[in-house]
Amino acid sequence: MPRSTELLDAVDVYFRALHACDVDLLDSVFHPASSLFDVDKGIITVEPYPAWRGVVVNRPSPASVGQDRDDEIIVVDWLSDTAAMVRVRLRVLDSIFVDQLSFVDGADGWRIVAKVWHLEGFVPSALS
């Protein structure tokens, strides 16, 4: 299987996991020591993956409210055969996010080791 196909499969796992709020799928694509980063009003937030995982498992999933998957890959930037940055856009409930995912390919396959995310905007609620 070509390396790009393996990486794109890992990105699809990420999309499916967030659509279903499936933390087992998230665990299969995130390195356990990874962190998530955001900046809001000049304040940088760093959240360890296990803490964010707890947020995901306790929120309603987009799938549970009938929301179709709405996600796309914006760019893949290969650093080497075993490292790549993937920028994606996805909808989670009423929020549109742009995520920059740093992937490395190790013994367990492609794993996210860092995520920088940005809340790009909101869409009208399907529940309103």
Q: What is the pLDDT of residues 28-69, one digit of tens each?
A: 999 999 999 999 999 999 999 999 999 999 999 999 999 999
β-pairing verdict for 30-40 and 43-48: antiparallel
Q: How many CB atoms lie within 10 A of CB 7?
A: 19
Q: Residue 59 falls within a domain, yes or no?
A: yes
The pLDDT value given to residue 124:
75
Q: Residue 36 falls within a domain, yes or no?
A: yes
List the domain range (segments joined by +) for residue 50: 3-122
Q: What is the CATH number of the domain that holds 113?
A: 3.10.450.50
**Residue 127, in any domain of the structure:** no
Does the residue 128 lie in any domain? Answer: no
**Is residue 128's pLDDT more than 50?**
no
Residue 112: is its pLDDT beyond 90?
yes
Predicted pLDDT of residue 15:
98
Percent with pLDDT over 70 in the chain: 95
Query: What pTM was computed for the model?
Result: 0.93
The verdict on residue 93 lying in a domain is yes
pLDDT at position 2 is 59
* Integer Cα distance of 55 and 106 in angstroms: 27
Question: Residue 125 — very low, low, confident or very high, per pLDDT cuts 50/70/90?
Answer: low
Q: pLDDT band at 5, cuts 50/70/90?
A: very high
Residue 66 included in any domain: yes
Q: How many domains are there within the chain? A: 1
Q: Is residue 45 part of a domain?
A: yes
Residue 29 domain-assigned? yes
